[in-house]
Amino acid sequence: MEMNHIRRGDGEPLLLVHGLGGSWRTWTPVLDGLAAEREVTAVDLPGHGETPPLSGEVSVDTLADAVASFLTANDLEGVDVVGNSMGGRLVLELARRGDVGATVALDPGGFWTGWERYFFYATLAPSIRLVRGLRPVMDRLVDSAAGRTLLLAQLSARPWDLPADVAREEMRTFADSPSFDELLRRLAFGPGQPGTESTPGPVVIGWGRKDRVTLPRQAKRAANRFPNARVYWFEDSGHYPHWDAPEEATRVILAATARETFDGS
């Protein structure tokens, strides 16, 4: 499948995969830093950004199939990958299947149990309704620090500090994604992310200590399902470390995908 994407920089290829409702533009805060050392490809997943939705079922499995097809079509088999949120779950699934190289999953979904499933759904379902209802005044809201805080407090530990253009694009793609509602239900109440003891490349799972979407307690389950992975904690970050700690996230991604060592816990 062909997906809308951008390429920046030179060097070894690196694929960026956004989360539920996002687009390639969510990576804007880290894109230049990564592209200074790597050839970065950032995609719009099916049903997000400028990529049409899939026909038929929309799930983690079918999205992973679509990304795998994109890799084959673009000579990117075995590429190093980075994903956030749902994208973090997708890159872990691709690593489990053996389709990619070094893998960095930032605050991945798929590791909730019990009441955490309902918490995830009950916080995001009303949020998307609010975002859709506010479309007529969205530009004015995201232009103010107070408006960004109202809209993005679930995703960011410091939403008032986010660039207005990044917040505006995220809200636009959230509201416009035709796949959002089905994916949200499947993510919340469908099967969790299976793991593996063996992946083609190293795996780093990064987690924000202040994550209000995929709660930090879920990191232990992720590490148990991927026992060869290293867990890295972003101490002052929410659900989007590439927004809250862009310089730190850039260092972690470049080190992890270069097979270098860095401090983790």
Q: What is the CATH number of the domain that holds 36?
A: 3.40.50.1820
**What parts of the chain have a pLDDT lower than 70?**
259-265
Residue 158 within a domain: no
Residue 177 within a domain: no
> What angle (nearest 5°) sits at the alpha carbon of residue 240, between those of residues 235 and 243?
90
Residue 164 within a domain: no
Q: 260 to each of 35, 89, 232, how far by Cα in Å?
A: 18, 23, 14
**pLDDT tens, residue by residue, 186-202:** 999 999 999 999 999 99
Residue 146 within a domain: no
pLDDT of residue 265: 44
Residue 135 within a domain: no
pLDDT of residue 2: 87
Residue 163 within a domain: no
Domain count, the chain: 1
| Owning domain of residue 20 | 5-112+192-258
Contact (CB, 8 A) for 203 and 227: no
Residue 206 within a domain: yes
Residue 139 within a domain: no
pLDDT of residue 259: 63
pLDDT of residue 173: 96
